[in-house]
A and B are shown apart, each in its own frame.
Chain A
Amino acid sequence: MIEEEAVSLPDAATRPMTMIEAINDALHLMMARDPDVVIMGEDVGYFGGVFRATAGLQGKFGKNRVFDTPINECGIIGAAVGMAAYGLRPVPEIQFADYIYPGYDQLVSEAARLRYRSGGEFTAPITVRSPFGGGIFGGQTHSQSPEALFTHVAGLKTVIPSTPHDAKGLLIAAIEDNDPVIFFEPKRIYNGPFDGYYDRPARSWKGHAGGQVPEGYYSIPLGKARTVREGSALTVLSYGTMIHVAEAVCAEKGVDADIIDLRTLVPIDAEAVEKSVEKTGKCLVIHEATRTSGFGAELVALVQERCFYHLEAPVERVTGFDTPYPHSLEWAYFPGPVRIGEAIDRLMKD
């Protein structure tokens, strides 16, 4: 794993963590460092969150700083905006990204525009954490990947980690950032990487390089991609769970791929994308979200505009289908090894 961009403490001891543990560690650390950090959301307090991301925080920092909320996403985000206007640094949780829509007006019309419309008088340094993505038999309302609804909004930053190491460093950076950040956590890889082979035994983060997480404080700058694997035959642009699927399929196909984990979708690391595509001349974009007007369309446009004369083949997109996320046919929907493999074959055929 190449970690040139990570501001890790070079000599810090690391320990194996799951993504949930890494997120929990980042929250513990930021609450201790900054008395203005407060955590709020449904079931995040006494219970520690339905995914255990906030476990132990209320006991340590008290109910004034970590508290349960009514089941009202508009209220959660709206109150967080007001708290930020006061001077706090709220980290609200939306239990599933599928349920972020009641808070959407507060995010789009308020949090995203507060700094702009007030000429900088008021800001919204909030980090909205929310589990997203499929692969867990979550059906229609526990599987969605709504990142494109946020990347389209000026004033928001959208961040998606793919390893425990990145999750901790990016979450710390997101909380410290003075702009509103949507922090989507791929829940399929909370407890271990997932390569798309749903019929094989689940893996844990143990033994994965990305599961080694430095102790203490470090941050990974927003807006910087990570090179997962260096190669010269094909550029793969992806994020979240799909990074691991892409890695597995490229290895299986024996393709010398340059795999870029975007990590931050807005602002995007265009330089990393350009550098890679200029080197390889071929590009494959992969995401779980539905295809039409998905974030992949933006990536394809960016590559087409900036790397046109380097391209040796049309840019390919592998995504979820343009349907609601189904339950029983989950693995027919999920952009798994077969769909990715076909695209790679098309790209590599000459």
Chain B
Amino acid sequence: MSQVASLLIALPLISAFFVPVLKQIRKSLIFPYLVIITLIQTGIAGWVFYEVYTTGKPILIYAGGWKPPVGINLYIGHFAALFALVIAIVSFLTALFSFKAINVEPVDKYAMLFLLLMLGATGMIATGDIFNLFVFMEITAITAYALTAYNKTGEAAEASMKYIVLGGIGSSFFLVGVALLYGATGTLNMAQLAEFASEGNIAPVVAQVGLALVIFGLAVEAELFPLNAWAPDAYQAAPHPITAMFSAFVVKAGLYAMARILYLLQDAQGWSSVLKLLLIMATLTVIFAELSALRQKDVKRMIAYSSIGQIGLIALAFSLGTEAGVSAGVFHMLNHAIVKALMFLAIGYVGVTLGGTRLENFEGLGKKMPLTAFALSVGAVSTVGVPLFNVFWSKFRIIVATLQAGHVWPAALVLFASVVEAVYYFRLLHLIWFSGEGERVRESWFVVFLIILALLIIAIGVYPTPAWEIAKRAGSDIFAVANYIKNVPLIRLG
């Protein structure tokens, strides 16, 4: 029965392949089709989530019926179950939004790429094999390149070009890293690699070089400094719904993959120096992103920088090497996915309605589109980390975990960056509510979903315990490697 969970992969695939056929039948059916497929995906992901969290056991999918390490297995543990659900829900929301936001042809190609972006991210978080991870990463990355340039403007082409070059180099680094690890161990299965590492069977120099290559390769997808120069351009140039997907789960999949591989090899020698590398990259990411956001004139670009800053915070939590840090990082991932999905959807909605996302367009938004403005404000206040909003709790936990791990400087720098963040967010809020004049603009049914997301943010903020419990279980899925190895039944070879 549990093998049915492989539909998480099979459904988006087969539905993406069906789009060319559907286009010949009737073109106007494409967007409703997209909504229905993402809704079914949400249903499957919801069922998987329920199964995993009630039984407490991960769902293992054996592709082709081959047991690992001979075949490829998917490992849907607490983390993957949670994020498969997040991915599906965000995809559903963005599919609804696509009705309004996408009027550039060809919409059939858009629908295919959209479904495959969702598929790639789901595969990345579910796989239990590092080469398979590479394949899913390529699926995610190449759809992202194509979707970034989808609007076919000059700046979109430029952004996509930057992304494709950096992403290509990153992927090759990753592949070289995988080759090194395979050469040293003879296996590609994550559980078996972890076993090799814990028995001390990987030569320290190989583990270190291989791990550093993998981290560097993934850093492009995970938007870590200095490999994130493509991100603000891509966020700004991509179609609005796609930006929401980038921020809510594409970058998260990269971050998760990084954390997963990092913690699998935690017993390898030289591990702590790789952690230090990641710690430095993460702290610099936060500082640079927040300082850059301060001077932006375009709101979408500003939020893009803010998103990168938050991602740096998650990476910081993952680079601490403690269970508290990893759990806090996962909690922040969840909160950030909700908040940034809301922010980018709301900003995109304003952009579509008022024509553009320049700062001037947001003047007097509180009078023009009060409901959207309300949702946007909740998102903004939450990102800054004000108590009684969800991000406060995860930011707080990350900083406490950082201090506990003994890193005073990174904690101080990150706190400073939060102050910077508060400055530009409150400037935006001032613009929305206290300046400018405007006529009331009719807001469509889509606002309902924005309000629901905003209420969710407040609900988690007021009552964080359930969400925190979920995040803690998902976090220990990444951290407790011994458990992970135990859960994957490896065939003994030779």
A and B interact physically: no
Q: Which residues of B contact A (CB under 8 A)?
A: none
